[in-house]
Structures are given as structure tokens and as C-alpha cells.
Amino acid sequence: MAQTTEAPDIATQLPQTTEPRNPGMALDMDRVMRATANRSAIERRAATLPGRRSVKKDHQAAWLARAVSCIDLTTLAGDDTPGRVARLCAKAKQPVRADLLEALGLEGLTVGAVCVYHDMIEPSVAALEGTGIPVAAVSTGFPAGLSPFPLRLAEIGESVKAGAREIDIVISRRLVLTGDWEGLYDEMRAFREACGEAHVKAILATGELGTLQNVARASMVCMMAGADFIKTSTGKEGVNATLPVSLVMMRAIREYHEETGHRVGYKPAGGISKAKDSLNYLALVKEELGDRWLRPDLFRFGASSLLGDIERQLEHHVTGAYSASWRHAIG
């Protein structure tokens, strides 16, 4: 029988960063090699989630509003322009129509961040000035991560200098595929140091790591090296965020917190475009990590079209009618 998930408190937008940063730790190879993943059990557990968790009416509206607050509103297109980014930032500041927010009794709702390529950082920072919404930049040769290492470090530095408060880096997948965990740790540690005060999200590109065991071990190594977030995908791989991968990564986060006391954030990205999908991910976070992770400083969706569908569902909650998707343009 489906269980109704209690609605979160979403009356106001919380500060973006309230959790102390993960300082990392020395590489513990014994701990890394103990990380395993039972694929059949993980897939079975993930498959039961949609049927076990049900949110309806006011509860659903509250959960969808929470999802909005955790979105990294993203544009990573080759034809991005300052004008397009300005429109995206306007949507980030007012993600849901004012009349719908008033009907829902909400105020101060914004997305978690705006995520762009390096060249669009300065227009984004200017458009978001005074809002407290951080700009995140993809970096380190995104999405493949195959540019020369000194250039990847320099790219981080330039993005921080331009005003990015969060850096989404891509790891070298070959280090995982060849079992070079020391190399991955050293790479991630260098990226963390290059970020300075900017928070760093480690993109694992899980669809290219081969096995769930590799996902578990890569997650643990990146956290040991000081990642503030671990993220599933660039959104450019053939397979991006999935519930089984998310379960593996969340359990790694939980184990790391139990062992060190440090909380690391989680970001599923790529392919999450429907409001009902966001509810499944939020329910999984609640079950595996607890309510503290249901905040934008510890959980983000990497998404572009998700917000439009959520706004459409919120309008249905308020009016009882579904509107056309084109009425909820992102930018």
C-alpha cells in the first residue's frame, strides 16, 4: 500500500549554504575497496519506490515547491547568449507565477542556482545581483574532462574570478575504469584547492563508469578528497541520472557522514524533466538521508525543462485545469 509522504515546510526560501564544508580526509584505500553494490537488490529497491510513496493535493504542492527551491536552472547550449541567460535568470528569481505563489501562500521562492558555461558567468552574476542566488559554472573540460590538466585547473580559477560561487567539475573517467583511485583522489583534491571558497560539485558521469560498484567507490574517493557535492552526470552521456545510481550515491553519502560527521550534498542531473520524477528523487532522499538533505545547500536537481512541468502541475493544483506547456517557458 502506498504511503503518503509528509509535506515539508516550504513557506520561505532557506539560505543557500548553511552547512560547514566537507574538508575531506586522507585517502583510505581499505574503506574504498570495501564499497560494493548488489545490482539486483539496488534495482529492486529503486523499482518499488514510486509505488510505495504517494503525495497528493496540498502535500504534493508542498513537495513540488521544495523541488523548485532545489533546482540548478541550467543552460549549456553552444548558442547561449547574454540575452538568453538574462531571461533564464529572471525565471530563476521568479520560478513560479506570482498569482500561483499567492494562491499557495508562498513567498520568496527561488531556484537553488543558475548553472552556465564560463562565458556566461558574468552576465548571470549581473542579472542575479542582490538575490543571493549563486551562479554555478561547469568546468574542467566539461563534459569529457579530457583537456590538459593545467588548463582544467586554470579554467576553475578563471570561473571563480568571474564570480562563480559553485564549480561543477568532471572527473577523469579513465581513473575509475582502470582502478586508479589514488589518481582520482589527487585530481579531485587539486580541483577542490583550485576552487578556493567556491563550492565544488564532482560530476561522476555514472553512465560511463561501467558498474554500480565503480559508482560507489568513485563517490567515496571524491568525498574523501573534499567534494562538497557529488553529482551523477553531465547530462551529455547516453545514460544520466537514474534511481539505482542515486541509491548507491546516497548510501555512500550516508556512510561518509556516519564515519566523519561531514554532510556532502547530492545532485542528480540529466533526464529529469517531469514533476513526478522529482517527487521520486525527493522521496528517496528523505528515506536514505533524512530531512536535513531536503534543502538546497545539500540537494540539487540539474535540470532545464523540469521547472516548466512543475509550474504546470502547481497551476493544476490551484485551478483544477492543465495548461499548455508553452505557457510555462523557462527563458
3-class SS of residue 113: strand
Instruction: Supply the mean pLDDT for the chain.
Output: 92
Q: Which residues does 219 contact at the CB level (< 8 Å), separation at least 6?
A: 35, 204, 230, 248, 249, 252, 253
Taking 60 as the threshold, does the pLDDT of residue 17 lie above it? no
Say what the pLDDT of residue 65 is: 97
Among 72, 168, 228, 277, the active-site one is 168
Taking 70 as the threshold, does the pLDDT of residue 43 lie above it? yes
Convert the pLDDT of each residue in 244-255 to its tens digit.
Answer: 999 999 999 999
Confidence category of residue 331, pLDDT binned at 50, 70, 90: low
Convert the pLDDT of each residue in 177-199 to its tens digit.
Answer: 999 999 999 999 999 999 999 99
Taking 90 as the threshold, does the pLDDT of residue 9 lie above it? no
Query: HSE (CB half, 13 Å, CA atoms) of 239?
Result: 11
Q: Is 161 a catalytic residue?
A: no
User: Packing angle between helix 275-288 and helix 57-69, nearest 10 degrees?
Assistant: 80
Q: Is 56 a catalytic residue?
A: no
Say what the pLDDT of residue 53 is: 66
Among 231, 277, 297, 309, the active-site one is 231
Q: Which domains are assigned to the chain?
A: 21-328 (3.20.20.70)
Sequential DSSP letters for 115-163: EE-GGGHHHHHHHTTTT-PPEEEE-SSTTTT-S-HHHHHHHHHHHHHHT
Q: Is 168 a catalytic residue?
A: yes
Give the integer Cα–Cα distance in Å for 324 and 126.
32
Say what the pLDDT of residue 245 is: 98
The three cell numbers of residue 195 are 576552487
Among 91, 267, 277, 309, the active-site one is 267
The three cell numbers of residue 23 are 574538508
Say what the pLDDT of residue 54 is: 72
Across 229-256, average pLDDT:
97
